[in-house]
Each structure stands twice: as structure tokens, then as C-alpha cells.
């Protein structure tokens, strides 16, 4: 199958809002996305201390429905979806038979036999094709529907996020890893207690036409518009994986530290490969690190084998941070790593994940 | 960030560096990057300075400035020996954005050839090159 070369970038329903907010817009996964507004550090710290709102409408959605939808999803994704109650959400991986990671995704159980799965923008077409092909081969009654064009997605994150969304929501907000249908500022929305920043907050799935008005209302009530760069620095501080950086088809869940999201006994596609690696132990492991000085970036080699998969300057910690794969015997906390940053050796130390913890959690979970 | 500005008393290098010749000693100069350079880079998160005592060569890289977006070499506008680096940038690299001609200065240099200044641009010529 050949597709015509893509010459135009997609725009989210919030494009005009971004232009009005003086966003810097750049091409990202086929979309024209806001990378920053007032400034990355400012946006980042606003999310840590108050609240920020992100346009993540580029992310895709796949609906799985029909009498055997749950059994089908159980076969497709790595976690145990049978355990998810109606109104619940669960993180899982989509794997090839050999255990290579096709995508990492959240699935929301809307009804006993109806699920909505959120995909990464760059992977949506690939994931959809995979879902459809597996559905054809599946012995059961399941319907796979592309819902990517039906939703805009806003992430409202930060200590004040629930207060801001709660004030315009008809009914209580769902707790963490739960989903609920609510009216938000007069529009129907699916509110999900999920996020990608390490802060409390929610994600809103809305009809595209309703999104600009809800965005404006959230901003008016104090949510700081935040772009994709801040989203990346926020997620890296709490060591959430980014597909295309820390996860790929060449990497498996165990080496990525995602064994907790794999329940091999469910018999998902790739379960045998995951089980074999879990039993034998992976050759490499994804570790988090801080640098003594400077910044390491994706692709920088790590001495002794391995490479940096994500790296940035942490706005919260004020040091260079990152994640990368190293040989399993060098993955212990406190291990010194030598990273080749454009020809200069920089010293890093393997740290416990997450690298950043919310102050109110330090005492109870630190 | 401050508004675009290019002080008339400075000399400029086409690679978007500025030079302030020491008023008391024409053999000493301070280097930095221009408003245009910091704006193109975006928020600076790290300045990797040269060591004091090392020599820098006109038109050659002597330091790196890293922003949230990219790493850039800083090109030496003149040749000489590093006398001092702006140590405050280690903790506050954003000074390069906020005050590129003041607190965001990068290095102080003992010039090896004062005659090299003849090749630099004055403010009108530099700003014309940006248009």
C-alpha cells in the first residue's frame, strides 16, 4: 500500500487559541503543535506549583467494542484488562510477538464491553492497523473503530488542576486512573484521572468544536498554557517513558522497567517473549541519572554499552537529568556512568526513579 | 525576555557575538552573544565555558551554549587568552537571555592581536546584516 506523501500538517481544533497565546508552533508527528508559550521554565514550574493546560489533541483514540471486546483487548495489550472496572483506566503496552514495543497506551473502560484506547500520535496509524489486523484474526465478535477525529484532548495538570476543572464540571471528578462522563463548561466531556507530568490532574476528551471554549475557560480560571517542551521536561523528571525515545520496537518491557504492566498469564501477544526475558534477566536496563554538569541528549553513547534515550535540564532540580539503557550490571542506584556528550566525557550517577517527587509526597513515600 | 537591542558602543561579529573593548585597556575585551543569538536559541539552560588560561582563536568555537532546543557553539570574535569566565552563569544561565549585554556576558579575554578588531562590524553594519 502506498500513501501519498504528506505535505500538509494537521492542526488541532485549538490552533487559533495557540496563535492568540503567542505559541511557538512546530511540526510534531505530522501535527502543527505548540512547543512553548511564555517560556518552558515558567510553564514547567506553573504545572509544579499551580496548574497548566496542554493541548494533546494530536494523540489518537481507538474504540474497541462488541460482545468480545474485553477478551480481544486482553489478547492485544500487556496488562490484565479484566481487572479494570467500568469507569477505570489502565496503562499497558502493545507488543509484537517477539516482545518489541509497538506503543504504550492507556485504555479506558467506558462500558463492560466498550473501551477507548489512547495512542501516541506518531504511532496511531500503525496501532490502528495492528488492532484491525488482529481483529480479523480474532475468534470472536469485536469491532475496532478509529475515533481519532472525534476528540480533542486537553491535559489539565498541577496541584490546582482539579480545583479549576471541578469548578466548571457538573459532578465530582474521577479519582486517579478512573474515567467519567461529565458536562464541562456546558460541553459533554470524558474526564480521565490521568496525566503525564507527575502532578495530580485530569485529561479531558471533548468534541473538537467544544475544545476552544473549554480551553479559554480553563485559562481564564488560572491554568497556564503549557507546550510540548514543558510536557517533556515534566515527564522526564518523574521518569515517565516517551515512545520514540525510551521505548521502541527494538526494546522490550522488562529492560524498559515496565514489567509491572505485563501480566504474562493473560496470554497477550508477546507474553512468551516477555516471560523469557523476565526469567533470564535483560541484558540492558533503562536507568535514570543526574549529571555533575552539563546536559546529555538522546543518542549520546554511554561508556560500557548503551545510550541516552532522553536528556534535558531539569527546571525543578536545576541539573541535567536523563534516562538511558546501560548493561544490567551497571544499573544499580549510585553507579557512576561516563557519557560521551559530543566528544566530551560527562559524569553521571544512576538515581532512583522518579528523579523528582512532589514535596507533599516526600515524607510518606520518600 | 528583553526587547531587541544592539548597543552602539559594542563591536559585532557576524556569528552573533559582541565585543566590549575595556575602556582602560584596549588589549582586554569582554565577549558575549547578541540579542539575536539568544532569541534564536531560546531559553538558555547551560553555558559550558572554556577554562581560564586557554587560548581562543578568532572565528573558531570556544564555548557551548545549550538551550531547551539546541546546542550551539559560540564563535570567538577575536583571538586571545581567557582571563575570566562569568561564573554566575553556572547557576543562572538565563542571564544570557535576560541581559545579554550585561549580566549575560560570557568571558573576558586578553587579546593577542588588537588589529583583529578592524574586521568586526559596528552596530549599524551588524543590524543591517540581520535585516
Model pLDDT for residues A148-203, shown as the tens digit of each residue? 999 999 999 999 999 999 999 998 999 999 999 999 999 999 999 999 999 999 99
Provide the pairing of β-strand A187-192 with A201-206: antiparallel
Residue A366 has pLDDT above 50, yes or no: no
Q: Closest to A313 (Cβ–Cβ): which among B1, B46, B64?
A: B46
* Host domain of residue B47: 11-114
- For residues A175 and A158, the answer to whether their CB atoms sit within 8 Å is no
Pairing of strands A31-36, A10-11: parallel
Question: In CATH, what class is A60-149?
Answer: alpha beta
B25 falls within a domain: yes
What pLDDT is recorded for position A1? 42
Name which of A134-143, A147-156, B59-68 the model is least confident about: B59-68
DSSP 8-state assignment for residue A352: P
Neighbour count for residue A126 (Cβ, 10 Å): 15
Tell me whether residue B33 is in a domain. Answer: yes
Please tell me the distance in Å from B45's CA to the nearest CA on chain A. 6
Q: Would you state the cell numbers that stand for residue A67, as one nine-digit string?
A: 460482545
Which pLDDT belongs to residue A7? 60
CA A323, CA A336: separation in Å to the nearest integer? Answer: 14
ipTM over the 0.95 cut-off: no
Q: Degrees (nearest 5) of the Cα angle A25, A313, A30?
A: 25
Residue B130 lies in a domain: no
Q: Looking at residue A365, what is its pLDDT?
A: 37
pLDDT for the residue numbered B60: 95
- In percent, the amount of chain A with pLDDT more than 70 equals 96
Whether B66 sits inside 8 A of A313 (CB atoms) is yes
Shortest CA distance from B47: residue in chain A: A294
Question: Is there a domain that residue B44 lies in?
Answer: yes
- Residue % of chain B over a pLDDT of 90: 85
Please state the rounded mean pLDDT for residues A27-34: 92
- Contact status of B114 with chain A (Cβ, < 8 Å): no
Per-residue pLDDT, A358: 87
- Domain spanning A283-366, CATH architecture: Beta Barrel (2.40)
For chain A, percent of residues with pLDDT exceeding 90:
92
**CATH no. for residue B31?**
2.40.50.100
Q: Please report how the helices A228-237 and A40-49 are oriented relative to each other, as an axis angle in degrees rounded to 10.
A: 50
On whether residue B120 sits in a domain, the answer given is: no
**What are the sequence ranges of the domains in chain A?**
10-57+151-236, 60-149, 283-366
Number of domains composing chain B: 1
SS3 at position A194: coil
* Alpha-carbon span A177 to B28, nearest angstrom: 62
| R_g (Cα) of chain A, nearest Å | 20
Q: Do B66 and A294 touch (CB under 8 A)?
A: yes
Q: CB-hemisphere CA count at 13 Å for A154? A: 32
**At the topology level of CATH, where does A10-57+151-236 sit?**
Gyrase A; domain 2 (3.30.1360)
Residue that the C-alpha cell 501516541 belongs to: A120
Q: Is residue B92 part of a domain?
A: yes
Amino acid at each position: 500500500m502506498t500513501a501519498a506523501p504528506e505535505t500538509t500538517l494537521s492542526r488541532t481544533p485549538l490552533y487559533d487559541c495557540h496563535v492568540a497565546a503567542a505559541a511557538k508552533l512546530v511540526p510534531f508527528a505530522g501535527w502543527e503543535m505548540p512547543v512553548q508559550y511564555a517560556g518552558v521554565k515558567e510553564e514547567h514550574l506553573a504545572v509544579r506549583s499551580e496548574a497548566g493546560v496542554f493541548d494533546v489533541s494530536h494523540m489518537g483514540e481507538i474504540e474497541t467494542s462488541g460482545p468480545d471486546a474485553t477478551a480481544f483487548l486482553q489478547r492485544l495489550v500487556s496488562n490484565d484488562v479484566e481487572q479494570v472496572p467500568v469507569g477505570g483506566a489502565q496503562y499497558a503496552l502493545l507488543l509484537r510477538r517477539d516482545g518489541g514495543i509497538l506503543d504504550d497506551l492507556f485504555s479506558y473502560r467506558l462500558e463492560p464491553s466498550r473501551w477507548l484506547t489512547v495512542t501516541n500520535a506518531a504511532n496511531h496509524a500503525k496501532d490502528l492497523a495492528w488492532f484491525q489486523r488482529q481483529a480479523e484474526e480474532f475468534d470472536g465478535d469485536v469491532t475496532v473503530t478509529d475515533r481519532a477525529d472525534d476528540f480533542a484532548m486537553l491535559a489539565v495538570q498541577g496541584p490546582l488542576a482539579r480545583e479549576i476543572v471541578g469548578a466548571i464540571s457538573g459532578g465530582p471528578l474521577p479519582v486517579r486512573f478512573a474515567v467519567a462522563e461529565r458536562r464541562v463548561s456546558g460541553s459533554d466531556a470524558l474526564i480521565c484521572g490521568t496525566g503525564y507530568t507527575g502532578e495530580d490532574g485530569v485529561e479531558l476528551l471533548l468534541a473538537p468544536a467544544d475544545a476552544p471554549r473549554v480551553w479559554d475557560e480553563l485559562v481564564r480560571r488560572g491554568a497556564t498554557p503549557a507546550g510540548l517542551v514543558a510536557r517533556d521536561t515534566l515527564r522526564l523528571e518523574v521518569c515517565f517513558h516517551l515512545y520514540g525515545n525510551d521505548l521502541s520496537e527494538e526494546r522490550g518491557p522488562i529492560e524498559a522497567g515496565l514489567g509491572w504492566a505485563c501480566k504474562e498469564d493473560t496470554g497477550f501477544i508477546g507474553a512468551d517473549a516477555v516471560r523469557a526475558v523476565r526469567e533470564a534477566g535483560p541484558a540492558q536496563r533503562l536507568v535514570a541519572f543526574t549529571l555533575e554538569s552539563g546536559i546529555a541528549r538522546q543518542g549520546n553513547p554511554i561508556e560500557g554499552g548503551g545510550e541516552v534515550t532522553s536528556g534535558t535540564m531539569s527546571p525543578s532540580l536545576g541539573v541535567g537529568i536523563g534516562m538511558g539503557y546501560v548493561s544490567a550490571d551497571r544499573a544499580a542506584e549510585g553507579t557512576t556512568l561516563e557519557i560521551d556528550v559530543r566528544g566530551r566525557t560527562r559524569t553521571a550517577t544512576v538515581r532512583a526513579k522518579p528523579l523528582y517527587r512532589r514535596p507533599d509526597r516526600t515524607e510518606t513515600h520518600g | 525576555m528583553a526587547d531587541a537591542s544592539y548597543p552602539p558602543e559594542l563591536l559585532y561579529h557576524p556569528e552573533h557575538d559582541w565585543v566590549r573593548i575595556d575602556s582602560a585597556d584596549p588589549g582586554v575585551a569582554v565577549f558575549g552573544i547578541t540579542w539575536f543569538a539568544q532569541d534564536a536559541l531560546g531559553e538558555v539552560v547551560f553555558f559550558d565555558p572554556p577554562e581560564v588560561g586557554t587560548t581562543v582563536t578568532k572565528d573558531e568555537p570556544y564555548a557551548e551554549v545549550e538551550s531547551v532546543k539546541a546546542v550551539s557553539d559560540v564563535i570567538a570574535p577575536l583571538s586571545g587568552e581567557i582571563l575570566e569566565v562569568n561564573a554566575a552563569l553556572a547557576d543562572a544561565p538565563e542571564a544570557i537571555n535576560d541581559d545579554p549585554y550585561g549580566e549575560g556576558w560570557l568571558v573576558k579575554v586578553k587579546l593577542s592581536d588588537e588589529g583583529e578588531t578592524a574586521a568586526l562590524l559596528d552596530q549599524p553594519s551588524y543590524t543591517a546584516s540581520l535585516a
